[in-house]
Structure 1
Amino acid sequence: MNQRSHITLYKFITRYPFRSSSKPISPNFSKPITTKSFPPPKTPSFYNNTIFKRSYNAETDKIVDEINTKFAEAREEIEMAMESKETVYFNEEAECARAVVKDVLDMYDGLLSNLSEKDRGGIQRSMGLKIEQLKAELEQLNE
């Protein structure tokens, strides 16, 4: 801003100082603002079904956690192997990834073989897609 506009602004502010107003000046605000409260949303009954409960028993939960940990490790190994493709380290990285994937698949198959039909279905629904994803990523590595 130039010097003249500073002086003009100063004169305006000193003549008309800021003050609070109890009444809005704008006609748009003449009506009071009301808020409407809504009741909390109802939880659908299908959330109470056993499909959404991921807890089986302590031993099964422990094995599922181990499989999930190994799954993450296997994905990292596959990613490292893919990054080292066309290098001298590829074969070593690929073998390590294949070994970890084999461990995950063996743990998963062992878990399914020890469960009842109902629990097996729940585990397959919750982990089946991850296992298939792991197999597909391993196939990409083998190509």
Structure 2
Amino acid sequence: MHPRTHISLCKFLTRYPFRTSSKPKSPIPSKTITTKSFPTFYNPTTIPSSQSHFNKLPLYSQFKICRSYDVETDKVVDEINLKFAEAREEIEMAMESKETVYFNEEAECARAVVKQVLEMYEGLLSRLPEKERGGIQRSMGLKIEQLKAELEQLNE
């Protein structure tokens, strides 16, 4: 800072010291927000039946995000997903070692892991009722087909 400016600033501050300012006034009126200040649009009794199809559902059920299968099935799906990732890595490693002396060993490991994934997937599908089986097939079917196609590429 230039010395002359510094002196001018000091003189200004000594003549007009800092004063406490009043609390700033907002042009927007403040209002305490409570749960009563929100409309109760989610309450089925306040919505006429002609306006919403949600009134036939229990309270908050339209906001639930859930799978169509239970917790035990969820655990098995997670295990299959982990094995799926492992199988993809094994296939990738085998593809990288193609045309080397390690290829047969890597390919055999990949085939074994893919076989485990397919067995786990088929075992899960065989235990489930039709409704849950459809949900699993929709969520995992493409991944399983992808795994089969990658294994076929490995075998070529």
TM bin, normalised by shorter chain, reads 0.5 to 0.7
1:79 aligns with 2:102: no
1:53 aligns with 2:67: yes
1:84-119 deviation per Cα after TM superposition (whole angstroms, max 9, x unaligned): 122111111011101110110111011111211101
Alpha carbons 1:63, 1:111 under 8 Å: kept: yes
1:66 aligns with 2:59: no
**Number of equivalent positions:** 122
1:139 aligns with 2:155: no
Q: Which residue does the alignment assign to 2:143?
A: 130
The TM-score normalised by the length of structure 1 is: 0.65
Q: Which residue does the alignment assign to 1:93?
A: 106
Task: Look up the SS of the partner of 2:101 in the other structure.
Answer: coil
Identical counterparts, % of pairs: 65
Q: Which residue does the alignment assign to 2:9?
A: 16
Q: Once the 2 structures are TM-superposed, how far is the Cα of residue 57 of structure 1 from its aligned partner?
A: 4.2
The TM-score normalised by the length of structure 2 is: 0.60
Q: 1:86-125 maps to which residues of 2 (within 5 A)?
A: 86-125=99-138
> C-alpha distance in 2, partners of 1:123/1:109?
11
Unaligned runs of 5+ in 1: 1-5, 23-31
Q: Once the 2 structures are TM-superposed, how far is the Cα of residue 20 of structure 1 from its aligned partner?
A: 7.0
Amino acid at match of 1:56: D
> C-alpha distance in 2, partners of 1:86/1:93?
12
Q: 1:142 to 1:44 in 2, by over 3 A?
A: farther
